[in-house]
Amino acid sequence: MTEVQNEAINFDGIVKELLEESSEKDVIRFINTLYEEDFPLDSSVTRLATETNSQGEQRRSDIMIAINERVFHAEIQSSPDSDMVFRMFDYGYRHALVHRKSVTIDTLELDFPDPVVIYLRNSEKTPTTFTINLNFPRNKAFSYKIPVKRIGDYTPDSLINGSLYALGPFYPMKYEKALTGEHGKEIAQRLADELTLILDWIDEKVEKGDISKSYAALFTNGLMKTMSKVTSKAKIVDKEAIDKVMENVQTRRYVLDPLNWREEGREQGREVGREEGKTQSRLETARRMKRKNLPIETIHEFTDLPIEEIQALQP
């Protein structure tokens, strides 16, 4: 088995890389499944900046994506954290504050992103929803609810058919605790069979040209890292099934060195095409925002387009 057990895994980094490599249609499918939405596949997609800075304090969220004009915010969490709900609210508030708009001279409107937390590990402590109750003097109380999605609730089919490809590398964490239990050997075999299905699906997508080899490399190396981490912690009675899967992974033609996350020499044409597509998406978002008479500065902060270019746009 590849020796990466002692390497810390940047979970949110893996998801960001995979979403960045995804086509806009796959990003829309990802959001549709994760949030139970139904955006058309020709909707505008904008990958938003995940860093905000207010009064010298910098915050970095995991995922911020706008579909048309609606913003979605997702955080990746590997273990229970009682502060998660506060951080989500803080991220949402900071984003809303940057893109605030005045409805009247004495009224300010803040649009929070649509939040979700993705838990990579399941336990009896894993919540299904986070809630903050906001109580204001002389006003009614408000509840800020954050749904929770858990890797353990998915199967290979639901991940694949739901286009949740960016979560696939973490699938072994579904069985992390079960591998150490009484039926560890049977669980190891089940995991091995399911991972083989996922790997075969990746091969098929590469063959059809639905995903690039660089995407497959990012996905598979992320899976290798997770598998190595999970199995190094688990006291499995017989690791033979897992070892065979890892050997199978390393024979795939697009697998890179497990410590090297970037494929050398990406196809220049594909990269240029992707950048052009992202620019067109930002332009369309800017047009829609101009039609709503939003301030030029707000559109600039939202889309990262030059102010001069936004001013010249015909809505």
Note the pLDDT tens digit of each residue in 133-163: 999 888 888 899 999 999 988 999 888 888 8
Judged against a pLDDT cut of 50, whether residue 273 lies above it is answered with no
Which bin fits 265, alpha (ψ -120 to 50), beta or left (φ > 0)?
left
Full-model pTM: 0.74
Q: Where are the alpha helices (DSSP H) in 133-212?
A: 156-161, 184-208
Q: Where are the alpha helices (DSSP H) in 152-295?
A: 156-161, 184-208, 213-233, 240-250, 268-291
pLDDT recorded at residue 30: 94
Which range, of 38-52, 99-113, 182-196, 248-262, averages the lowest pLDDT? 248-262
Judged against a pLDDT cut of 90, whether residue 122 lies above it is answered with no
Which range, of 3-17, 110-124, 158-172, 215-229, averages the lowest pLDDT? 3-17
Q: At 259, is the pLDDT very low, low, confident or very high (cuts 50, 70, 90)?
A: very low
pLDDT recorded at residue 86: 87
How many helices and strands in the chain, by DSSP H and E? 10, 10
Judged against a pLDDT cut of 70, whether residue 214 lies above it is answered with yes
pLDDT recorded at residue 170: 92
pLDDT recorded at residue 226: 87
Annotated domain spans of the chain:
11-266, 269-312
Report in angstroms the alpha-carbon separations of 178 from 122, 172, 259: 11, 11, 27
Say if residues 167 and 221 touch (Cβ distance below 8 Å): no
Judged against a pLDDT cut of 60, whether residue 278 lies above it is answered with no
pLDDT recorded at residue 117: 93
Percent residues over pLDDT 70 in the chain: 78
